[in-house]
Amino acid sequence: MSRPDKEHLFELIAQVAHAIANPHRLELLDLLVQAPRSVEQLATAAALSVANASQHLQRLKRAGLVVGERQGTTIRYRLADPSVARLWTELRRLALAQQADAERALDRYRPGRRRYPRISLKELRTGLARGTVLLLDARPTLEYEAGHLPGALSIPLAELPMRLKTLPKDKLIVTYCRGTTCVDADEALELVLANGRRGARLEESVAEWREAGYRVERSAPAH
């Protein structure tokens, strides 16, 4: 292989790095790890204008990270390959492990995370098998339907205050959402604990669950 060929190859690989070297595009990937979405849905969830979100998505598309599929008058975006989800989760894990500033920023974003009881994937699987755990998915319904942990109950954070009394008192309530950088499961756990239930936080998301080789369930959209 000639030197120019090698440099061209590395330039193509660098295009992927350039594409994700933006906080807004990383957030869009985080959202797409959870579920395919339209440009409008992504813009709303990421607090971007539709035009800005579309520009970021085109950059991700050119790098081969996302795919846009037309459905009628709407274009829905999804990850181009499961490896993109692994890229995002590993990048997040690396940044938090290697950058003290990232860890401090996470503490500011999730101020209660160090005092919440936690549960590991292994402990969760044991509890589910024994029937001693109720798994609560605090993400939006769209994300739950696209893929959730087996047996998880969908209660989006906004609905939880009205449904707290329906939760069992004899089980450990485990909350989860999009992973380490998601605050919804923390806020859900706060409500659970304040209501006198036993609770714990699962730091991992559906992506890490899938990476560990465990089965993910899907639900048909409600009509």
List residues with catalytic annotation: 177
The sign of the dihedral angle between the CA atoms of 139, 23, 117, 107 is negative
Q: Which two tokens stand for residue 151?
A: 């047996």
Task: Classify the phi-psi angles of 130: left when phi > 0, otherwise alpha if psi is within -120 to 50, otherwise beta.
Answer: alpha
With beta carbons less than 8 A apart as the criterion, state whether 68 and 82 touch.
no
- Give bridge partners of residue 136 from the DSSP assignment: 153, 175
